Amino acid sequence: MKSKRLLTLVLLLAFPHWPAAAQGLKAAKNITFDKAAFDQSLVGAVGPSVMGYQYVLVKDGKVVTEKAGGTARTAQDGGPMKMTVNTPLNIGSLQKFITGTAMINIMEKPWVYSPDKDKPLQTRLDRKMSTLFPYVWSKNMMKGVGNISFRQLLQHRSGFDDAYKGDRNVMGFIKEGFNPAQFDKREYSNINFTMVGYLLPLYHEPGLANSFDQSISSNKLADDAADAYVRDVLGKKMHQMFVDRIFSKMTPSIKPSCDATNELKATAGYGYQTKSSTKGVIASMIEKKGHCSGEGGYFMSARDFANYVAHFSVTDLIVTKTGHDAMFTEGMTPDDRLVWTAASGDNWMKEKFQMPVVVWSNGIPANGKTVLIRLPQNHYLVLFTNSDELGVNQLYNAGVAAFKAGMQHNFN
């Protein structure tokens, strides 16, 4: 096991990288990190409260520290199984980070026949999503939906109203779930990244919408059946794009699953309501929808997700530096950020590292919580739990407090 871990770290470090923009103090000051203080703070804040936890802190694509503790499965769920940093857990809406960065990936590295392949990223982000729609979607759009851009989907500023209580699939939102008063105002809603996931293959294959139209017409499918057919094909293609363009090319490669109930039944952790629960849950988006989905439902370990983040932060494999900075960089208006779920002000970060806004993403699956936090000097923290005692804001606060504990000695 030790040799496998060393191999993982060596391979991660070996991947070619680009220099990240420095966040922090003047270069003349030698900043060191107290790993023991960080670990003590984070384990103390999270460990006693939850069934199980796992975390990995990376800097410049390298693992700084990682730990896991508690229980991944109880005896009633096939255990007992200890939690490790390699235990796959339901990451919930943290999948949106992967889906969103994959969209930026395809925009920065489009197919040779893509009609906007020579345009800059900012122009592609402003493209209207409806330009890719198959006819079954475009003919059912209510007024205003045709104005939604990729940028607005990635910012949760589409106007798709999360208060809408009708059909929560694509067809329901484009027919009745758009609120003109909410357009271009930030309102978090799963449908934004559900849509981004379906649009990935349509962006990659410009002729795919016409192929759908022909099949729907020849098979005389009614709109509901046509919509279900389109979504099923796109969801399966989306997952394969993740694999082909990113997951399989990482060093080491990773294999996230949206069918944990069947594919990871021997290795995945369960989710629990409390640390004293005896019976937990495991999920499958395949059983729920028939295909993977861009907004959530994937299982992966903190180490694998940290590997994804490491490649995101220092290599061109997922996004280039241009794409990375387009998502968020110092001085950007927080509501203009792409993909990142939340933005929190922090006076200590501002004073010590000239980083007044900390952006982060999170997931709230069925039992358990997940967070990814962008921290100064190109640190990223991945923190997962598998029970519900601590909310995502509490995990965020624990992660930030631990980082401060690890850095405080530089300022005493």
Helix, strand, coil % over all residues of the chain, rounded to 5: 45, 15, 40
* Statement to judge: residues 38 and 88 lie in one domain: yes
CB atoms within 10 A of CB 5: 14
* Statement to judge: residues 128 and 38 lie in one domain: no
* Statement to judge: residues 227 and 345 lie in one domain: no
CB atoms within 10 A of CB 306: 26
What percent of the chain clears pLDDT 90, i.e. is strictly above it? 89
pLDDT at residue 96 above 80?
Answer: yes
Write down the pLDDT at residue 18. 55
Contact 339, 96 (CB under 8 A): yes
* Statement to judge: residues 218 and 103 lie in one domain: yes
What is the pLDDT confidence band of residue 114, given thresholds at 50, 70 and 90? Answer: confident
What is the pLDDT confidence band of residue 54, given thresholds at 50, 70 and 90? Answer: very high
* Statement to judge: residues 194 and 129 lie in one domain: yes
* Statement to judge: residues 59 and 206 lie in one domain: no
Written as one letter, the residue type at 82 is K
CATH number at residue 324: 3.40.710.10
In the Cβ-directed half-sphere of 299, how many Cα atoms lie within 13 Å? 27
What is the tens place of the pLDDT at every residue in 151-172? Answer: 999 999 999 999 999 999 999 9
Q: With 0-12 CB in 10 A as exposed, 13-18 as middle and 19+ as buried, what is 207?
A: exposed
How far is it, in rounded angstroms, from Cα 394 to Cα 389?
Answer: 9
* Statement to judge: residues 103 and 231 lie in one domain: yes
* Statement to judge: residues 52 and 135 lie in one domain: no
Q: Which of the two residues, 112 and 131, has the higher pLDDT score? A: 131
Contact 191, 170 (CB under 8 A): yes
Look at the chain and count its residues: 412
Contact 296, 363 (CB under 8 A): yes
List phi, psi (to 5°) of 386: -125, 30
How far is it, in rounded angstroms, from Cα 240 to Cα 105?
Answer: 14
How much is the average pLDDT of 174-188?
97
What is the tens place of the pLDDT at every residue in 303-358? Answer: 999 999 999 999 999 999 999 999 999 999 999 999 999 999 999 999 999 999 99
- The helix (H) or strand (E) run that includes residue 103 is helix 95-108
What percent of the chain clears pLDDT 70, i.e. is strictly above it? 92
Write down the pLDDT at residue 206. 84
* Statement to judge: residues 103 and 151 lie in one domain: yes
pLDDT at residue 11 above 50?
Answer: no
What is the pLDDT confidence band of residue 190, given thresholds at 50, 70 and 90? Answer: very high
What is the tens place of the pLDDT at every residue in 12-45? Answer: 544 445 554 445 554 446 899 999 999 999 999 9
What is the tens place of the pLDDT at every residue in 230-269? Answer: 999 999 999 999 999 999 999 999 999 999 999 999 999 9
* Domain edge (last residue) among 196, 222, 247: 247
Paired residues of 164 in beta bridges = none
pTM higher than the cut 0.85: yes
Distance of CA 114 to CAs 125, 137, 203, 322, 340, Å?
14, 21, 8, 20, 27
Written as one letter, the residue type at 371 is V
Helix and strand counts by DSSP (H, E) for the chain: 16, 9
Question: b or e along 161-181 (b: 16 or more beta carbons within 10 Å of the residue's beta carbon)?
Answer: bbebeeeebbbbbbbebbbee
Report the domain count for the chain: 2
* Statement to judge: residues 73 and 106 lie in one domain: no
- The helix (H) or strand (E) run that includes residue 206 is none
Which letter does DSSP use for residue 20 in this model? P
Tell me the average pLDDT of the chain. 93
Paired residues of 385 in beta bridges = 53, 369
* Domain edge (last residue) among 200, 231, 247: 247
Written as one letter, the residue type at 305 is F
* Statement to judge: residues 123 and 205 lie in one domain: yes
The token pair at 109 is: 């590295």
Write down the pLDDT at residue 23. 55
* Statement to judge: residues 373 and 282 lie in one domain: yes
pLDDT at residue 124 above 90?
Answer: yes
Write down the pLDDT at residue 7. 38
Domain that holds residue 179: 99-247
* Domain edge (last residue) among 180, 215, 247: 247
